Amino acid sequence: MKYLLDIEQMKTDGVTYEKLLWLISSEYTEEEIEKIKRAYELANSLHQGQFRQSGEPYIIHPISVAYILAELHVDCDTICAGLLHDVVEDTDITVSKIEEMFGIDVSVMVDGVTKISKLNFSTKEEERLANTRKIILTLAKDIRTIMIKLADRLHNMRTLQFKSREKQRENALETMELYVPIAYMLGAYRIKTELEDLSLRYLQPEEYQELKEKMEEIEKASTPCIEEMLGKIYEILSCEDAPSEVKVRMKNICSVYKRLKRGRTLDNIHDLISFKIMVDEVDRCYLLLRPIHETYKPYNGKMKDYICNPKTNQYRSLHTTVFGPDDRLVQMQIRTFDMDKVASFGLAAYWGMHDGNEREIMQQQVREKYQFYDSLLEINHKFVDNHDFVSQVRKEILSDKVYVYGLGGKLIELPEGATPLDLAYKTDPKFGNTIDKVIVNDKEVPLDYVLHTKDRVRFLTNAISYGPNSDWVEKAQTTYAKQKILESLPVYKKN
């Protein structure tokens, strides 16, 4: 039996304009395709005579960016902006000319992607910080521009071998620190995993290569086990006459690398290989658990329901770890096709409502679905200086996260180092002001207790409590909580 390893990657090697046209031919209306063609023709004529360091004509780059965006099924205007994303920076055309030709939406995106002019800043560092701030704020303002930036960065990382050693390291580092967390926050796993693997390849070349080879060996050695399990899974699925699909996935190199750094060994990463089972309906995900657990005994305590309690980046799936052949642990991920689309493309999966109001719809999705939105605005409001802003965003938003159970068992994401005060004020400032005691995992803890993933947090409140103390400001870690505490202090009110 043959199986297809889902490498969760999209490739742009040898992408041409013809291939792009073929890709978009079935998904976009004739009118939209005409507009995309016009954008290509303008970009092609403007970039005429320019070449990339690889020696290829420059136009290959915007075509590749548009190709990645089309694979994400973004709307027509975003593809046009992808094709035109470098023309303002690299040629003589102006943003207003683009607006005249393609409308305000395309021109705003092109303008957003275009780098900040170097003239306004005295040092390279200041310029870099201002640019970072601009990228981060674009997350809250126009998510489509961020998708273009991600596609742009992905193609640049794929072709990084043509740059100098110094440039490679610089780009890889920035990608790891800025673009990987952004892709993760938006739930765009395909982009995130490829970006981080590419970065690691340039940041730790020897370790990367060594690990890659080891994992390929493991994959080879696992083939009989994978095929045996696949056969059984297909048997189970065939009992019902409904659409389904199974994919085998090897964990990406950078994720494994990070686990190893945290003291794990290759043998005890139980989701090194996982099966992704996709079905058409939510109920069927749950129904499948029984025959699977009857065939392969579940490893109790490893069952996770991200359907009823989704990750904060909207990832939804059932996870269960079972004893496979030779008693080796194997992870199964069971989800619907729709959930899989969100898991692969993140926010971009919500695209496709063609009523000409994509920008509004997407921004509304960001506001409603993603917990980072409010924090970002708060930090922006509070930190005027670019350096302070960027370092605070790194600490709170781009940093590693802990996931705790808050009110009603809801999974809440907080930056590492957060305390119960951060959770309480994130839940509701009024609620925060009435805290009396904090109970974590059935034990009372101090207000500055550092939360860990899986902590169950309960608050005992008292409506006539004295309210926050000034020392609470230090005990909270997030800008939002600190600000709300300050506002509730009697002294602050008088000022």
Residue ranges binding Mn ion (CB under 5 A): 86, 152
How far apart are CB 89 and Mn ion at their closest, in Å? 8
The catalytic residues are 89-90
Pick 148 or 250: Cβ nearer Mn ion: 148
Residue corresponding to tokens 């490498």: 7
How far apart are CB 148 and Mn ion at their closest, in Å? 9
Pick 114 or 453: Cβ nearer Mn ion: 114
The burial of 235, by beta-carbon neighbours within 10 Å (0-12 exposed, 13-18 middle, 19 or more buried), is given as exposed
Of 279, 219, 212, 208, the C-alpha closest to 249 is 219
- Contact between 213 and 259 under an 8 Å Cβ cutoff? The reply is no
Pick 65 or 421: Cβ nearer Mn ion: 65
Distance CA 320, CA 334 (A): 8
How far apart are CB 237 and Mn ion at their closest, in Å? 43
Distance CA 263, CA 329 (A): 19
Strands 329-336 and 273-279: parallel
How far apart are CB 297 and Mn ion at their closest, in Å? 51
Kindly state the tokens that stand for 222: 């696992």
Of 99, 104, 145, the C-alpha closest to 356 is 104
- Contact between 184 and 139 under an 8 Å Cβ cutoff? The reply is no
By beta carbon distance, the residue nearest Mn ion is 152
Taking CA 250 as the corner, what is the angle to CA 202 and CA 247, rounded to the nearest 5 degrees? 135
How far apart are CB 142 and Mn ion at their closest, in Å? 17
Single-letter residue type at 53: Q
Pick 78 or 483: Cβ nearer Mn ion: 78
How far apart are CB 81 and Mn ion at their closest, in Å? 11
Kindly state the tokens that stand for 276: 């992704």
Distance CA 332, CA 299 (A): 11
Taking CA 273 as the corner, what is the angle to CA 272 and CA 274, rounded to the nearest 5 degrees? 120
How far apart are CB 152 and Mn ion at their closest, in Å? 4
460 three-class SS: strand
The burial of 349, by beta-carbon neighbours within 10 Å (0-12 exposed, 13-18 middle, 19 or more buried), is given as buried
Pick 155 or 401: Cβ nearer Mn ion: 155
Distance CA 77, CA 94 (A): 18
